[in-house]
Chain A
Amino acid sequence: MKALKFDPLNIVICGIGGQGNVLASEVVGSAMNDRGYHVAVGETYGASQRGGSVMSHVRVSADKEMCVLIPSGEAHIIIGFEPLETLRMARKYAGPDTMIVYDPRPVYPLGVLQGIQTYPSMEDITEEIRSLSAAAYAVPAADIAMEVGDSRSANIALLGAFTQLPDSPLSREDLEKILTQRFRGAVLELNQRAFAMGCEAVSGKGGAV
């Protein structure tokens, strides 16, 4: 296991209700608890299970008790399931050391489809995400998930990408082991494929923006 580069280490996981980011935060939090760290996780989700902005905060420390929310500007890693939500959270939580992995596939808010709101251009979003972070990687997680055969494995692809960041407290091997503990049979197999493709999206540097 890697040592913590920052203490506390702060991870923001953000997306839209129903994309699986609560599972992602629970997997990372449990793994760090099992390694003997102090862990605090805060999950923010609204009345609906789907549609609204959803966010989890995962905080890890060797020795400190922490509140479950990350202070503004203090995130070290942002895992984003959707570009608009990634930018929204980067504006609030990114600091000079923040690294970002995110799915660049837009999910339009209802108001955009109704023509009463405007979704910013992808160029503007990408540019600002890059300017707010030390490094940012676009990982086509939903496309990967569709390719392996289950749209729900997008979160696993993003967790793969996360392990390739230098500040990740969990290595590729750590999370591969957790996958084998959590899933069985065909679901395990497709999650392993999604995970590997997520890893490669960052390690191959193809996703750097």
Chain B
Amino acid sequence: MFNMEWTMTANAPGQVCLMQGNEAIVRGAVEAGINFAASYPGSPSSQVLTMLGKIAGERNFYAEWSTNEVCAMEACVGASLANARALCIVKQNGLLCVADALHCGAQHGVKGGLVVVTSDDPSAHSSTNEFDSRYQAMSASLPMLEPTSMQETKDMIPYAFELSERTKQIVIVRLTTRVCHGRGNVTLGPLPEKPHPLQTVGEWDRLVCVSYKHADMLRKLDALRQEFESCPFNHYTGPEQPKELIVAGGTGRLYAQEAIRRLGLEDRVGLLSLATVWPLPEQYILSHLKGVEKVLTLEEVDPVLEHNLEAIAGRNQLRVTFSGRSDGALPKIGELDPDNVMAAVSALTGAALPEKRPTSELELPERDLTFCAGCPHRATFYLLKKVMRQEKHPGAVVGDIGCYIMSGQSAGHFAFQACNCMGSGVNLAEGLGQLTNYGLDQKVVTVCGDSTFFHTIMPGLVNATYHNANMLLMVLDNSATAMTGFQPHPGTGFTAMGAQVKPMNIQKIVEAIGCDVEVADPFDVENTEKVLRRLLHKSGMNVLIMRQPCATLMSKQSRKKSRVYVDQSKCQGEGCGCDKYCSRVWGCPGNTWDFQNNKAYIDPVTCVGCGVCAKLCPNGAIKVEGGEDA
């Protein structure tokens, strides 16, 4: 049993550890002797830089939670110029943010190895959308690799750095949620004695994007295609000349392997596992397609590999039938899993599926996501919706990316009508706000979190202030990048490597930009409601900072929480005119219902003692006792 720091930094070649995919990235980076790592948090790969930050001091490299992905990616390009091995970690949406730097970087190439790890989130477990990052590699003419297991993930990182330096090109490693958030056995490799050697930036060193480098970029892509013809991460298992072949990218290999085993098809079906996502090794693939009648392609998100295989077969006049994501053999939406892969393998071969047991007809309610007990966002959206309802016309509320995105669901009273990408809220609201001078008679409000404020709101705030849009920006300052696990941002006063630094003050930034700004506490419901109503009727660009720390952050601190409980002798239950206001309308998981006595009840396991519900109960039946302020 080893702790994370030991597993990541031990020079114990041969030791087998249970490792999360995100940990395997970290271990691989340490084995590669990286000098530089930068990221902005995004699930499913948020844990990578947190761990890198913890061990950076010991392994003598620099690790940074950057203000956004563009800062991270471009800092890595800069580090590469000094021959540093630089690792940039982004999620699928972050990869789109850095698309410009990626495409320019593909033209000018690298000096020290530059590896970009991107995590796609099939089924959008922790995302607003599914996205296939393979298009970015194809679009930028960059090599991309995809591992199938935790061991391959660890081994692929040093390989990617070595490849990047040898070909003078950025290398992208694509992960998916089941790798990032899965765990598996990993055999540790040796650690280098020192990080990769830095070099002075020479007078004639050049990483410059100019159009005539386009040809360089295409030459590198051709060289990589040749290289990938014998990539050690591509492999084939199965009979010598199968009629049916499964081609798997990423996690598909393990699902296929298990389906083949369970259906007893080991001697019949071939399995080709392709780690080289782009460029595809055409001769290697052709050698496995010849003589095959049917191909099933297993891949996450879009039929990218399937269409490329069809093109290869077409170019070479092979008569092969293809199936996969594009023809309904596998669902077009959602991740691969053992069941849909086994069904597809059964359809490919005619092998019978095991029988399913019947279950009862009893309907089970789904569990909507909700704000945590004691979350300040609940109070914010409760107040916003309340004030907006009293307006002549329904308001227009624009959301953004963070925990508060749940305000688009019942947890936040279905508060917003639009939500696009990270940092977009202020700009969408600016567009609406300008139209209020052209006949649109609505109050326009947008929200963002403190981390999002620094990430991409600031340019939008400059724009909206300069053009004096009629709108209100509410900065929900909970002192945390809460959704992804409390990573530092410029407002927090600490860094990924644990340094204490001077925190930036959002209020002062807004003032310096020249925008009117006020601060309110969402838990002070009475006064904040008044401030909100007043600001809604104030013309021009306004900012309201809603300041109250994240409940989960607070629960990590050792402070005695208040005891909040229902005095059931005062609660009138369903007979009260409030119609179960605390549990039905307020909607905190701590405010539940005692179905036996038909009265309100506060679950002591869940309640964190914020006491806001006590201010809302019309009968004063909710009591708050003791506790310390933060």
Contacts and interface: CB of A to CB of B under 8 A. Distances in A.
A40 interface: yes
A45 B367 CA distance: 12
Nearest to A85: B367
Nearest to B251: A67
B364 A108 contact: no
A95 B357 CA distance: 8
Interface in B161-190: 178, 181-185
Contact of B181 (A42, A87, A151, A181): A42
Interface string B604-620: 11100000000000000
B1 A31 contact: yes
A142 interface: yes
B410 interface: yes
Given A71-B339, A113-B592, A128 B360 contact: yes
A24 B216 CA distance: 51
A46 B257 contact: no
A78 to B, nearest CB: 14
Given A33-B18, A41-B184, A114 B255 contact: no
A42 B587 contact: no
A185 interface: no
Interface stretch (B368-376, B459-467, B512-520): B368-376
A159 interface: no
Interface in B341-368: 342, 354, 356-357, 359-360, 362-368
B584 interface: yes
B507 interface: no
Nearest to A67: B254
B605 A40 contact: no
Interface in B569-628: 580, 583-584, 587, 589, 591-593, 603-606
B18 A29 contact: yes
A113 B587 contact: yes
Contacts of A111: 365-366, 368, 410
Nearest to A96: B357
Contacts of B366: 53, 109, 111, 117
A193 B372 CA distance: 28
B365 A117 contact: yes
Main secondary structure of the interface of B (DSSP, over half): loop
B182 A68 contact: yes
A109 B125 contact: no
Contact of A50 (B18, B43, B339, B370): B370
Nearest to A47: B126
B1 A88 contact: no
B183 A41 contact: yes
A49 B339 CA distance: 27
Contacts of A94: 357
A66 B254 CA distance: 6
A119 interface: yes
Interface residues of B, number: 64
Contacts of B184: 39-41, 68
B372 A46 contact: no
Nearest to B359: A91
Q: What class of interface size applies to chain A in its complex with B?
A: 35 or more
B354 A47 contact: no
A16 B587 CA distance: 17
A110 B357 contact: no
Interface in A64-108: 64-73, 84-85, 87-88, 91, 94-95, 107-108
A34 B16 CA distance: 8
B237 to A, nearest CB: 11
B136 interface: no
A108 B593 contact: yes
B235 interface: no
Interface residues of chain A: helix, strand, loop or mixed (majority): mixed
A43 interface: yes
B258 A51 contact: no
A84 B483 CA distance: 25
B182 A42 contact: yes
A51 B185 contact: no
B144 interface: no
A47 B369 contact: yes
Contacts of A52: 367-369
B523 to A, nearest CB: 19
Interface string B180-206: 011111000000000000000000000
A71 B258 contact: yes
Given A43-B181, A48-B406, A69-B178, A124 B362 contact: yes
Residue from B356, B405, B589, B591 with most neighbouring chain A CB atoms (10 Å) = B589
Nearest to B258: A67
A117 B360 CA distance: 18
A132 B357 CA distance: 9
Given A33-B185, A40-B182, A47 B405 contact: yes
Contacts of B485: 49
B257 to A, nearest CB: 7
Residue with the highest number of chain B CB atoms closer than 10 Å, among A84, A108, A182 = A108
A132 to B, nearest CB: 7
Nearest to A32: B18
B149 interface: yes
A46 B182 contact: no
9 contacts: A34-B18, A43-B181, A67-B254, A67-B258, A107-B589, A109-B366, A109-B368, A113-B583, A146-B605
Interface of B: 1, 16-18, 43, 125-127, 149, 178, 181-185, 251, 254-255, 257-258, 261-262, 337-339, 342, 354, 356-357, 359-360, 362-373, 403, 405-406, 410-411, 482-483, 485, 552, 580, 583-584, 587, 589, 591-593, 603-606
Given A50-B589, A68-B178, 18 more contacts: A30-B18, A33-B17, A39-B184, A40-B184, A41-B182, A42-B181, A42-B182, A44-B181, A46-B369, A50-B552, A51-B367, A65-B149, A68-B251, A70-B338, A95-B357, A117-B366, A119-B365, A146-B604
